[in-house]
Amino acid sequence: MWFAIFGYSILSKHFTVLELYQKVLRSEKIISDMRAKLNRKDDIDLENLVKLAMNDDIAFIPKIKSSFPNLYDNLIEMNRSMTSDEFKLCALLKLGFTTKDIAEYNHISVRTVQTRKSRLRKSFGISADIDLYKWIDTL
């Protein structure tokens, strides 16, 4: 019985470490993809920005506004009634987070993120044939 409990404990810790490792790999991929898009390595503290987003930290919104000052202004100009949740979703899309990542880090379902993306399209008048990630990159 003791061996079974010990084995379960080791396996549990192994899976926790594996999950954390996968999370680190995903964050590194997001950071490298964003750096490739920006072509400027030192201007924006991407590591801190991605960590704030992954931890669903309240400091994420002010940090994204300071890192991408034109993003908020351009979005509010297009839609004066933009909500803070819509802006947060746009910021996560700007960083290149996938639907699955957004769902995981905000503790919501993938379907909820898909619905929010659909509502975002409607709110900003974006047609279905336009890639949301490319649209947000143009702002």
- What does the alpha-carbon distance between residue 138 and residue 3 come to, in Å, rounded to a whole number? 58
Confidence (pLDDT) at 109: 94
pLDDT in tens, 114-137: 999 999 999 999 988 888 988 988
* Ranges of each domain in the chain: 2-137
Confidence (pLDDT) at 42: 47
Q: Is the pLDDT of residue 22 over 70?
A: yes
Q: Is the pLDDT of residue 23 over 50?
A: yes
What predicted TM-score, i.e. pTM, was given to this entire model? 0.70
Distances (CA, A) of 117 to 19, 28, 105, 111, 112: 27, 24, 16, 10, 9
Q: Is the pLDDT of residue 5 over 90?
A: no
- What does the alpha-carbon distance between residue 10 and residue 51 come to, in Å, rounded to a whole number? 28
pLDDT in tens, 46-87: 778 888 888 888 889 999 888 888 889 999 999 899 998 999
